[in-house]
Chain A
Amino acid sequence: MRDVLAAFGLFILGYFALLNAIYLAFTLYAFKALTRRLRQQEYSPEAETFASPFSPAVSVILPAYNEEAVIVASVRSLLRLRYPFLEIVVVADGSTDATVERMREAFDLVEVRRALRDSIATQPVLATYVSRRHPEIVVIEKENGGKADSVNAGINAAGHEFLCVTDADAVLEPDALLHVTRPIIDDPDLVVATGGIVRIINGCRVEDGEVVEVGLPRSRLAVFQVIEYFRAFLVGRVNWSRSRSLLIISGAFGMFRRDVVEAVGGWWNDTVGEDAELVVRIHRYLRGRDEDYLVEFVPDPVCWTEAPESFRSLGSQRRRWQRGLGETIWRHKRMIGQPRYGAVGLLALPYFLVFELLGPIIELIGYLLIPVAVLAGALNPTYLLVFFLLALVLGVFLSVASLALEEFSFRRHRRSREIARMMLYTVLESFGYRQLTSYWRVREMIAIAMGRKATWQALPRRGLGADAAAEASE
């Protein structure tokens, strides 16, 4: 018994050491990458270069299921994107509300029988419209089939070579498209997908579909998530992208080359983690054919999304993420450890399997076994205390470092009081928040193991920005 416990203790220690070593290395590199990017912006020819005739034409796909409250404002914010050539494909996914009606009123839609590709099978399309006022707006009305199915219908209708998939409740940065197309213009043959930094909008002031002032949310749960996003985007994705194994491009705003998405069969409908699954499938397809390609993360902010503020909705979000991750890894389990899939098979997938998918379970077992081990005399209480302190300090350090990354790069939070508040939260997050998210994730793992289907409700939308004002003025 004591030996087993001691062995497990060693295992936990090794696990902990490896995970934090990875985090530390990632943080170091992220510092290099982001400060460089910052300096670069002072003298980068970005704005003038990228509004050029060489910019690829982009079809923006906006799936919308019952979005009558926000659809017009969302489309209007897409029209405001600084980009020379774009088309907007709104896919009304069997909406039972006035989504299409609102669009018709705002943009003077006429029915035009649009030629649709049949590259990806979707629910039947009922009607297609074009705006007379902005001929670059196309609306596809189809039978309900879910988000992935809508995106696929949008791909079939898209006229251009590059697709930007976004979300009706994402608030976009005006330069978002310029940012995510930058790698494509640099290497049009190699880059197949790009994504950027997603941030949390709670607490920010939004005017006319644009974030005009960045602020911290009042909700404690949301502040924890702000810090979490800093870690995930500023530290995590920068590194995965560098090692050519970026697995997630956020569904809120991502760019893809159409022929590649078509070749892999489009978005997968039967998962709740369609964003990651598609990117992994793209890796699998292209690596499997030994093709040279890039999936790139651009360290520039591109869009803002709403974070859940109640335990209930946060819980369902985390459970949904966990299930999505599980489904993706399960579907692509054969890639794990296979050298032919490069860093995706050897680094990224194993990392996500061990530390993201199984991590919470290991953590929970640790919490349960510690008292047993102490009682059995296999664990020295002093040692335990020191270990916990180290874990705490490391957690705080990594979070503070990600705050510092933000400070040295984008510095979007102007008020110093907010930075102080976030620093405090880097300590608080180890007492409850982290355990809570692990708990939800474990719960979902158990539900999956017992063969239960997904059971959460959707995040209620509050409708962002001053939609009413924008609508009244059109």
Chain B
Amino acid sequence: MSTDADKRTILIAEDEPDIRDLVSFRLERAGYDVILAEDGQEALELAIEHRPDLAILDVMMPRMDGLELTRRIRAEQTIAAMPIILLTASVQDQAVTEGFRAGADDYMRKPFSPQELLSRVEAVLGRK
């Protein structure tokens, strides 16, 4: 578990309030700082402003979907290296391949396991 000194910040972009709250609740409990966005556009702005250590992005979002957002983040110099985990509904088979092609580091299917998400976050952050 991280200490306050190296508290890492995670951006969560998700339009469904339930998922957003469930993910952020677990991450905060695990000692991360969390920034929330309700759509892709807002997420991009927050990402540029706060430069979080990691972003968890929903694929289906209003105003800009997670795939497009991933591409934008990769194209934005200051945050291009930010690790990205995509959240996809289980029916979107193609989204996973497309997500990796867009530059995502990992993905998580919905319905999801919070425990597994935490380990993935740690793994992706550790890889850095």
Contact = CB atoms under 8 A, between A and B. Distances in A.
Interface in B66-105: 89, 91-93
Contacts, number: 21
B41 interface: yes
Interface of B: 41, 60, 62-63, 65, 89, 91-93
Interface in A199-240: 207-208, 210
Nearest to B93: A53
A52 B41 CA distance: 27
A138 to B, nearest CB: 18
7 contacts: A51-B89, A53-B93, A80-B65, A84-B92, A174-B62, A208-B41, A210-B63
Nearest to A174: B62
Contacts of B93: 53
Contact of A80 (B62, B91, B92): B62
A84 B89 CA distance: 11
A51 B92 contact: yes
B91 A48 contact: yes
B97 to A, nearest CB: 14
B91 A82 contact: no
A469 to B, nearest CB: 10
Interface string A38-55: 000000000010011100
Given A48-B89, A84-B91, A174-B62, 13 more contacts: A48-B91, A51-B91, A51-B92, A52-B91, A53-B93, A80-B63, A80-B65, A82-B60, A84-B92, A207-B63, A208-B41, A208-B63, A210-B62
A53 B60 contact: no
A473 B48 CA distance: 14
**In the complex, the 10 A-B pairs of residues with the closest C-beta atoms, listed nearest first:** A208-B63, A51-B91, A52-B91, A82-B60, A174-B62, A210-B62, A51-B89, A80-B62, A84-B92, A84-B91
A210 B92 CA distance: 23
A464 to B, nearest CB: 16
B6 to A, nearest CB: 34
A46 to B, nearest CB: 13
Nearest to B41: A208
A210 B62 CA distance: 9
A80 B39 CA distance: 12
Contacts of B89: 48, 51
A128 B91 CA distance: 32
Nearest to B39: A208
A80 B62 CA distance: 7
A48 B16 CA distance: 14
